[in-house]
Amino acid sequence: MVGETELAERCHGSNEEGILGLFLQELSTDLHAEQQLLKEMLERIGGAQSLVKQGMAWLAEKGGRFRLNDALLEYSDLSRLVELETLFVAAQERRSFWENLQAARGTDKRLSPIDFVRRQQQALRHAEALTKHRLDAVRKAI
């Protein structure tokens, strides 16, 4: 989720105006809240954060800035499309993640305060909004 949050913030920095900018700001806020929830959840179950995995996610996001598009060193319409597509896939993965946790929870009281269904619905709303924005980006990029 670290990489997704970084990407959402970077995408917002390049698209601050209009409804896309508002959505990306809201997405970033939601992702920060989910990161905090995951930290709390790990503490509840006695798990630990993997700094190596977080570092790798951070590096992957930074490496994702260097991609072939129509403007290698500048932000372009194609850059926006690639970022929104990546955020869409990440939202789908988050929905699945929360769905899996809901199924695995069973009677584990340590996880009972967490509303996994709400998190699934939020990820689905993000994916639906990203679909609209990425289809708009396709029209601009092509």
| Contact present, 112 and 36 (Cβ < 8 Å) | no
Count up the domains in the chain and report the number: 1
Q: Angle 116-141/77-105 helices, nearest 10 degrees?
A: 160
pLDDT tens digits, residue range 87-118? 999 999 999 999 999 998 888 888 888 899 99
Distance CA 118, CA 120 (A): 5
Domain membership of residue 99 as a residue range: 2-141
95 phi and psi angles, rounded to 5 deg = -60, -45
- How high does pLDDT run on average in the chain? 85
Instruction: State if pTM tops 0.75.
Output: yes
